[in-house]
């Protein structure tokens, strides 16, 4: 059963003739590219589902870690929301992609009917989550860009972090929330008990109005696909260039006069910068195929017809790379943030082995490495620099 590429922002059919249509006297179901079914089963239903399940566990753990800490909720707000949305993206991969391919392998009408019952709402939620995540990564990278280059916008980005995060989520809802009203299910009584008992098609308004051309083509492609990709690419290049160009650090902050403490804060800031750069690079790598595919579709509407095998593989890769990027968040945090790594290990140890009261108190005193800026200590502050109250993180 062809999913119509519905897990990718660039994969909706471009005309109403490409929707699921069924003749009144025809209940025959034919698998799309049957010679590729076994390969897709192993790639999507087995490997992809395993990655998605691991990603769900990782991001549930990260979300609970961030949401239960007041400091994390304030300073790692973007990463907390990113973990929250990654849970839904990973879950949607299993429910949409894996079950879809599995139904073709088993040729199960029951599995197909169950898939259709939740397909539209889960599809909408997954797209909102993916789009919101991309805007959140851009917002976090912009704040890190401002901190790294010590721009005058840093104070605004830090003071309005909650508002910026809310705007990112709002854009995701506005951009993809209308997916829920774009499709409708068609039930065929003459095919009850068969694979074609239920099909799906676009609602008439999608192609009969300017909605498709203005909103789905221009807005969604350029605002939710091209813009986040190239903005994040630019920010990452500027950040990496700054980190590799400057050999000395200009740190402008309020400290307690302790040089060792200052060096630790600089190291923590650099670790936070590396974390955001790697998260951004994961997004860029996982979306390269999506951007290329979207560009090709705009120049060749018959791409799926001319190269069906390649097209299906690329669509499956787009979804697989997306969920792999979700699963890569925790390893990135563990690799780039030593202090956060210790906190994660201790939290995991507490889940596996209940600790005593004394051990619990010691755990609560462990310093937390944050992805955003560190707060200066309040003990006998002395100014080290007058250029800016913020670190340049170099």
pLDDT in tens, 153-189: 989 998 999 999 999 999 999 999 999 999 999 998 8
Q: Is residue 365 pLDDT above 90, yes or no?
A: no
Segment 65-87 shows an average pLDDT of 91
Segment 354-370 shows an average pLDDT of 45
Structure tokens at 155: 């104070």
Q: Is residue 89 pLDDT above 80, yes or no?
A: yes
Q: Is residue 279 pLDDT above 50, yes or no?
A: yes
Output the pLDDT for position 261: 60
Q: Is residue 235 pLDDT above 80, yes or no?
A: yes
Output the pLDDT for position 234: 93
Task: Give tens-digit pLDDT for 100-136.
Answer: 999 999 999 999 999 999 999 999 999 999 999 999 9
Q: How far apart are CA 178 and CA 220, in angstroms?
A: 11
Quick one: pLDDT band at residue 383, thresholds 50, 70, 90? very low
Output the pLDDT for position 220: 92
Structure tokens at 220: 């969604």
Q: How far apart are CA 265 and CA 242, in angstroms?
A: 18
Q: Is residue 328 pLDDT above 60, yes or no?
A: yes
Output the pLDDT for position 384: 37
Percent of the chain with pLDDT over 90: 47
Output the pLDDT for position 297: 78
Which ranges in the chain belong to alpha helices (H)? Answer: 37-40, 49-67, 70-75, 77-92, 99-106, 109-149, 154-159, 161-176, 204-208, 227-245, 259-299, 303-306, 308-327, 329-336, 338-352, 357-364
E-strand ranges in the chain read: 183-187, 198-202, 254-255, 382-383
Q: Is residue 376 pLDDT above 70, yes or no?
A: no
Q: Look at 393 and 32; give whichever has higher pLDDT.
A: 32
Q: Look at 55 and 33; give whichever has higher pLDDT.
A: 55
Q: Look at 178 and 251; give whichever has higher pLDDT.
A: 178
Output the pLDDT for position 240: 86
Output the pLDDT for position 8: 37
- What DSSP line would sit under 210-245, residue for residue? TIIIIIIIIIIIIIIIIHHHHHHHHHHHHHHHHHHH
Segment 286-313 shows an average pLDDT of 83
Quick one: pLDDT band at residue 380, thresholds 50, 70, 90? very low
Output the pLDDT for position 4: 38
Output the pLDDT for position 307: 84
E-strand ranges in 108-150 read: none
Output the pLDDT for position 246: 56
What per-residue string of b and e applies to 242-258 under the rule 16 or more CB within 10 Å gives b? Answer: beeeeeeeebbbebeee
pTM for the structure as a whole: 0.81
Q: List, in order of start, the domains of the chain with CATH numbers.
A: 34-257+266-351 (1.20.1070.10)
Highest mean pLDDT among 157-161, 238-242, 245-249, 365-369: 157-161
Whole-number average pLDDT of the chain: 80
């Amino acid at each position: 059963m062809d999913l119509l590429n519905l897990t990718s922002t660039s994969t909706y059919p471009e005309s109403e003739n490409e929707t699921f249509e069924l003749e009144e006297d025809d209940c025959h179901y034919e698998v799309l590219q049957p010679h590729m079914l076994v390969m897709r089963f192993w790639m999507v239903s087995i490997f992809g589902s395993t990655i998605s399940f691991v990603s769900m566990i990782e991001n549930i753990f990260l979300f609970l870690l961030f949401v239960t800490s007041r400091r994390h909720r304030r300073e790692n707000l973007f990463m907390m929301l990113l973990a929250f949305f990654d849970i839904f993206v990973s879950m949607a991969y299993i429910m949409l992609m894996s079950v879809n391919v599995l139904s073709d392998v088993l040729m199960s009408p029951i599995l197909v009917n169950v898939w259709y019952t939740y397909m539209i709402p889960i599809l909408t939620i997954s797209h909102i989550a993916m789009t919101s995540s991309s805007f959140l990564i851009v917002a976090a990278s912009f704040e890190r860009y401002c901190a790294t280059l010590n721009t005058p916008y840093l104070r605004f980005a830090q003071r309005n972090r909650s508002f910026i995060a809310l705007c990112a989520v709002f854009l995701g809802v506005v951009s993809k929330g209308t997916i829920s009203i774009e499709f409708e299910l068609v039930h065929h009584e003459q095919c009850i008990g068969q694979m074609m008992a239920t099909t799906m098609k676009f609602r008439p308004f999608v192609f009969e109005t300017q909605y498709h051309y203005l909103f789905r083509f221009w807005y969604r492609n350029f605002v939710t696909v091209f813009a986040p990709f190239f903005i994040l690419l630019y920010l990452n290049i500027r950040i990496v260039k700054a980190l590799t160009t400057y050999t000395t650090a200009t740190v402008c902050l309020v400290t307690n006069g302790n040089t060792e403490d200052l060096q630790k804060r600089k190291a923590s800031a650099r670790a936070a910068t590396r974390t955001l750069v790697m998260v951004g690079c994961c997004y860029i790598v996982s979306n390269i195929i999506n951007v290329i595919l979207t560009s090709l579709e705009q120049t060749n509407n018959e791409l799926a017809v001319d190269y069906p095998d390649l097209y299906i593989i690329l669509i499956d890769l787009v979804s697989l790379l997306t969920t792999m990027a979700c699963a890569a968040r925790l390893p990135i945090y563990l690799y780039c943030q030593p202090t956060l790594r210790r906190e994660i290990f201790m939290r995991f140890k507490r889940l596996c082995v209940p600790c005593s009261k004394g051990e619990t108190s010691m755990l609560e005193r462990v310093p937390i490495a944050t992805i955003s800026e560190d707060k200066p200590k309040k003990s006998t502050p002395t100014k080290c620099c007058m250029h800016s109250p913020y670190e340049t993180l170099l």
